[in-house]
Amino acid sequence: MVHNKHDAEDIAQEVFIEVFRSIHKFRADAKLSTWLYRIAVNRSLNFIRDNKKRKWFQSFEDSVETKNRELQNIAATTSDQPGVQLENRQRAILLHEAIDRLPQNQKVAFTLSKYEELSYQEISDVMDLSVSSVESLLHRAKKNLQKKLYTCYKKKCI
């Protein structure tokens, strides 16, 4: 959800610390994995929100520097097959941007379904929604994603 390995690891560590501290609050009426996912989703959303705020206050120079670093990372990963890897990297950035622009609920449902391979029932438990709501969220998420990717395809983003 945060599209960055180091940030994801930090969040995962925070999740385990929270679980360690508040395990006594865990009610056995839900699965432990559901509880873990719920904490992880909340932590990730908080992180994204804080990051947005930080970016808002970030100076122009800092944002340029971050962009440069991203570009350098792209360049660094293109050692073997430069063309293919660069294209894949651009595709990944495009996909991440498209996912990031989805409404929050759609983004969470899509991430849990695609990255974590959770079933509709499990997603509904984590998000505290009905299964039909999850189905509808995923349907809209895919539609929005396709729309964004098609717009970009027409503009020849890659």
Partner 1 sequence: MECKTIHKELIFFLEGDLPSEKAGQIEMHLNECSACAAFAEEMKETLGILEAEKSPAVNPFFYTQLKAKLENRESAEPAFFKRVVLAQVLQPALFSILLIIGIYSGIKIGQPSPVKVFSTTQFEQEAIPYFNEMKTESIETFLME
Structure tokens at 42: 């909340």
Residue 146, interface with partner 1 (CB under 8 A)?
yes
For residues 126 and 10, what is the distance between their CA atoms, to the nearest angstrom?
A: 21
Element (H, E) at 151: helix 131-155
Q: Give the long-range contacts of residues 128-134, CB within 8 A, separation 24 or more.
A: 134/109
Quick check: 131 and 156 in contact, CB under 8 A?
A: no
Nearer to partner 1, 1 or 129 (CB): 1
Of 31, 44, 115, 128, the residue at the interface with partner 1 (CB under 8 A) is: 115
Of 53, 55, 69, 143, the residue at the interface with partner 1 (CB under 8 A) is: 143
Number of amino acids touching partner 1 (CB under 8 A): 23
**Interacting residue ranges for partner 1, rule: CB under 8 A:** 5, 9, 12-13, 16-17, 20, 88, 91-92, 94-95, 114-115, 117, 142-143, 145-146, 149-150, 153, 158
